[in-house]
Amino acid sequence: MEVNNQKIAAVALSGGVDSSVTALLLQQKGYKVIGVTGKMVNTPAADIVCQNAKNVADKLGIEHYIVDVTEKFQKEIIEYFENSYKNGQTPNPCIMCNQFIKWGEIFDYAINELGADIFATGHYADIRLVDGVYKLYPAKDEHKDQLYFLYRLGQKQLSKTVFPLYEYEKSQVRQMAYDFDLPPKSSKESQDICFIQKPDTTKSYLKDKFGDQKGDFIEIPTGKKLGTHTGHYQYTIGQRKGIGIAAPYPLYVINIDSEKNIVYLGKREDDFRTKLAIEDLNFSYPIGSEKFDAMVKIRYNMPAKKAQVEIIDDKAEITFYEPVNSITPGQAGVIYDLNDGHLIGGGKVI
């Protein structure tokens, strides 16, 4: 597919502003750009995503391919999502989608089938080659930094990936979409869980899946029963709103026992801890130490906190220097370099 030694850039095209501007920027740099869109589920909403992506490709005058990833998406994303809640955990489907779909099925198709030289997405992150190793650094727009969602990527993926948006603010990206009259120029940010469409919510989706399961709210540390709920899967650690129990102080979800269908409630101070462990580890590059200080996030929208990381067999024990709240099984614990903030790796909180 390479023409006149022109490098081929495959862009994971979602039809949104970020991926559209990514394709535009690579086209301006002289690449032969092709758009690749994964069809995740068999729904009208998914068909609209594919059509929106095609509209962008047509506007830019580039080839466009649709890859049916519904089977893989069902197994690796939807079933993982449902089973996590069933087991009292809070999943992070975007991280799994990046691993199995974007840098799995779509990446492989782009590189192996379409012969692309590089693979690009609209993520806000910076890839640098440092002493022969590819490392992920924060993007310029700190409000859009997405390293947290990329910790499952390794050297194979990073060596073939580019993120053209790393040097731009989101406002600049949206302005470029306007200036070049790209189809999604006025579109809103995409929603978090692409397979749950409004007016459905995560709660209603899970309720349809699992039905009512009557269980108890128990107070920590007294063990007193405070009321009943209709399914532990409707709650997550640190949650305050939507509990529906009157108390003389604000109640937070502190723990979930999925086997007994018990949701434990307590005060905000009951929600703080210093220690946790992560499993299913993945490091962006080989690390030389089994015990080191780093900055760690246990959810996307928190500032990274200093902690000691100790790798023991296939797990890592993390000890924060100051207590953190809402340590949530199923979420990602992501590790960053103490000095320059680059991504080291991460795992799943257990």
Instruction: Identify whether the C-beta of residue 51 lies closer than 8 Å to the C-beta of residue 21.
Output: no
Neighbours of 305 (CB within 10 A): 17
Instruction: Identify whether the C-beta of residue 281 lies closer than 8 Å to the C-beta of residue 349.
Output: no
The one catalytic residue in 50, 56, 57, 97 is 97
Instruction: Identify whether the C-beta of residue 97 lies closer than 8 Å to the C-beta of residue 41.
Output: no
Task: Enumerate the β-bridge partners of residue 257.
Answer: 262
Catalytic status, residue 97: yes
Q: Which two tokens stand for residue 168?
A: 């731009």
Residues in the chain: 350
Instruction: Tally the C-alpha atoms within 13 A of residue 199's C-alpha that lie toward its C-beta.
Output: 0
Q: Which two tokens stand for residue 151?
A: 């910790």
Q: Rounded to whole angstroms, how far apart are CA atoms 219 and 198?
A: 34
Sequence-separated (6 or more) residues with CB below 8 Å from residue 162 = 9, 26, 118, 119, 120, 127
Instruction: Identify whether the C-beta of residue 19 lies closer than 8 Å to the C-beta of residue 121.
Output: yes
Sequence-separated (6 or more) residues with CB below 8 Å from residue 131 = none
Helical pair 17-28 and 170-179, crossing angle rounded to 10 deg: 70
The one catalytic residue in 11, 77, 194, 243 is 194
Phi, psi of 68 (to 5 degrees): -80, 105
Question: Residue 147 belongs to what H/E stretch?
Answer: none
Phi, psi of 93 (to 5 degrees): -60, -30
DSSP letter, residue 104: I
Catalytic status, residue 194: yes
Q: Rounded to whole angstroms, how far apart are CA atoms 240 and 258?
A: 19
Active site residues: 97, 194
